[in-house]
Amino acid sequence: MGQGIGQIDALIREEKRLTAVESQTEAWAEGLSAGIEPEIIAEAALTTAFAELLRSCSEEAALTLLDVMREKVIGGDFDVNPYHH
């Protein structure tokens, strides 16, 4: 048998996530090439993301995402040097 519906949904979600990452990476590069500092690009991206999430979902969804991202930062998920001691 083939993949179940859940597996197909997970593959579709991952493809969407990868497409979104690609779009965000391109936008980031464009901002840098325009001379915009990374901190300004990051703040604008986060502001846009949370405003859209609040518009389309809920305050609870935005706060949950904020908590998840905070834990990822604390856990070192975004560490550019993961072997740093």
C-alpha pair distances (Å), 11 with each of 5, 6, 17, 24, 25: 10, 9, 10, 20, 21
Q: What is the mean pLDDT of residues 31-44?
A: 97
74 and 42 belong to one structural domain = yes
Tell me what pLDDT residue 82 has.
Answer: 60
Domain that residue 12 falls in: 1-36
Per the model's pLDDT, the better-predicted residue between 24 and 1 turns out to be 24
Which range is least confidently modeled, 1-5, 14-18, 28-32, 66-70?
A: 1-5
Residue 22: is its pLDDT beyond 80? yes
Q: What is the mean pLDDT of residues 35-64?
A: 94
31 and 5 belong to one structural domain = yes
Q: Residue 54 falls within a domain, yes or no?
A: yes
Our count of domains for the chain comes to 2
31 and 56 belong to one structural domain = no
Q: Output the CA torsion 35→41→43→44 (10° steps).
A: 110
76 and 60 belong to one structural domain = yes
